[in-house]
Structure 1
Amino acid sequence: MKVVVIGAGNVATHLAKAIYAANVQVTQVWSYHNQNAQTLANQINAKAIANLNEIDLDADVCLISIKDDAIADIANQLKDFRGLIAHTSGAVNLEVFANHFENYGVFYPLQTFSKSKDISFADIPLCLEANNESSLTRLKELAGKLSKNIVEINSEKRKMLHLAAVFACNFTNHLYELADEILKANQLEFDILRPLIVETAAKVQNAFPLDVQTGPAIRNDEQTLIKHQELLLQQPQLLEIYKILSDSIKKTI
């Protein structure tokens, strides 16, 4: 199997490296920034291409791993591709490819990726969808070389899964950032929170979040809630976030 990777960002980098590690040939890498494509290509013994018209039209699979808003435009530029084309987005419909390709699909790895941190694909859910059985079989073949956690899911459910992931991951990480700002403003180090963060994540591995919720809001500890809000009077954005989240937690009681 020969694979072309379109993109060289966080997801594309980890995915291309995982494919290469699984002894599947990645022949070409393209990126808006050719230096990024070259950097990734050098790591996986592939060729960096500067123009999409250089793409190997007979490659078995082309994986588009770029920002969601650009997928349709890139797909339009690749309409002569004869293999199976798939994107890695959680939010973009399968039918973005419908007017251009005979065989197409979605290859969505449900995980957070950063180039600076290595990660194993062995347990990552790979969410697959395709327009026909032969394309789905081909995606399963590739996915099976990377992970033992393969999920068939349609576009509508995948969008909701992606939405849930934004709450569980992206928003949570942003709250870490806000917590860090509070600490820094008071000459405290973020390291002091790390054991708390680890334990919070560990608890939901074996329980539902609602069953392990803690803190002043779930206890309906009004005096503490008032004190916290007073501390945030000079930071209206943080105060609003605090109130919204506290009220949301209270509604689960």
Structure 2
Amino acid sequence: MEKKISATIIGSGNVGSQLAKLFFKKGISIDAIYNKHKASGISLAKAVNSIYISEKNRIPNNSTFYLVALKDDYYLEILKGMDLTEKLIIHTSGSLESKKINPFSKRWGCLYPMQTLIKNDNINWKEVAFYIEASNNEDEKLIGSVCKKLEFNFSKVNSDQRKKLHISAVSTNNFTYHLLSTIKSFCEENDLNYEDLKFLLQKSIDNSFEKEAFSMQTGPASRKDLKLIENHLNLLENDSNLKEIYELFSKQILKKHHDHEL
């Protein structure tokens, strides 16, 4: 008979909410939801047939594991005062050094989803890459068994590898949003249709995974067309943000493809 798994969720933000609801859906009972903000905590507790608590001394002591899903700055602050010695504490951070949980419990683990999770979004979980880590073999097996129950695509990595994965994810996701937001503003200011770039963008992303990204690089910098680069920079004279990005990227492409300084 399969051993019953239960969890206490600490944090009812985007990641905590998404994972708590998935746990509940897949048969992992939620013993309690701890959150500093009452409305969010109560709402999630109702959704997963659990209870909301705001006092650290009311944390259940019999959960299989304690999932802590918080902003990186808050982990150590929130865990202070919780009696979780010898309990399995699993964090979800991409950048937290897992051993920092040692003062609160020698049993620690990580379940890091390399994906932006928004509370009420529909997620295709089979497409999300998860990375796990644990302080001992038994808890690593336990986290792995939870991942299998949830049908996750998961790999084992250490904290150093995960931090580098997180840098890659931030660069891929957050920087792309900023770049596209800047380009969208430029299009709107110049009466251009931003939507016309959609197919070009999608094709570029597909090419970067199907082929070698370096060899697929096109454009004036890859051709060492310095005159065209200069013309573009002149046209961007009134858009300092996009000009700065354009110049930075052009410099790096020229350096990488031609060992040339702009």
TM-score by shorter chain over 0.5 = yes
- Hey, what's the Cα distance between the residues in 1 that align with 2:191 and 2:50? 47
Contact 2:57-2:83 at 8 Å conserved across structures = no
- Give the secondary-structure state (helix, strand or coil) at the position aligned to 1:243: helix
Aligned partner letter, 1:217 = A
Please tell me the residue identity of whatever aligns with 1:40. Answer: L
User: Could you list the runs of 4 or more consecutive aligned residues of structure 1 that deviate by over 4 angstroms after TM superposition?
Assistant: none
What is the rounded CA distance, in whole Å, between the counterparts of 2:98 and 2:255 in structure 1? 36
User: What CA distance in whole angstroms lies between the structure 1 residues aligned with 2:110 and 2:48?
Assistant: 23
**C-alpha displacement at 1:239, in angstroms?**
1.9
| Residue in 2 that maps onto 1:34 | 38
Check the 8 A contact 1:126/1:147 in 2, yes or no. Answer: no
Query: For 1:3, which of 2, 7, 14 is the aligned residue?
Result: 7
1:213 to 210, 217, 232: 217
Extract unaligned runs of 5+ from structure 2: 258-262
Q: Could you tell me how far 1:251 is from its partner in structure 2? A: 2.2
Gapped regions of structure 1 (runs ≥ 5): none
Indicate the structure (1 or 2) with the bigger Cα radius of gyration: 2
Please state if 1:22 is matched with 2:36.
Answer: no
Question: What secondary structure is seen at the aligned counterpart in 2 of 1:122?
Answer: helix
SS of equivalent residue, structure 2 residue 103: coil
Distance 1:81 1:168, change over 3 A: same
For residue 204 of structure 1, the aligned residue among 208, 212, 223 is 208
Residues 1:115 and 1:193: Cα distance change in structure 2 (over 3 Å): farther
- Change in 2 beyond 3 A, CA 1:243/1:114: same
Alignment of 1:89-100 (within 5 A): 89-100=93-104
* In 1, Cα distance between equivalents of 2:194 and 2:51: 41
Once the two structures are TM-superposed, the CA of residue 151 in structure 1 deviates from its matched residue by 0.8
Q: Which residue of 2 aligns with 1:106?
A: 110
Alignment partner of 1:232 out of 216, 233, 236: 236
- 8 Å CA contact 1:6–1:64 kept in 2: the answer is yes
Given residue 7 of structure 1, which amino acid in structure 2 is its aligned partner?
G
Q: Distance in 2 between matches of 1:104 and 1:81?
A: 10
Residues 83-119 of structure 1 show CA distances to partners (whole Å, capped at 9, x for unaligned) of: 3101100101011111221311111111122235311
Q: How many Å apart are 1:7 and its aligned residue?
A: 1.5
Show the counterpart of 2:148: 144
TM score, norm. by length of structure 2: 0.89
Q: How far, CA to CA, are the matches of 1:189 and 1:115 in structure 2?
A: 31
* Residues matched between the structures, number: 253
Worse-matched range after superposition: 236-245 or 163-172: 236-245
Q: 1:176-195 residue pairs with structure 2 within 5 A? A: 176-195=180-199
Counterpart-to-counterpart distance in 1, 2:250 and 2:207: 20
- TM-score by length of structure 1 reads 0.91
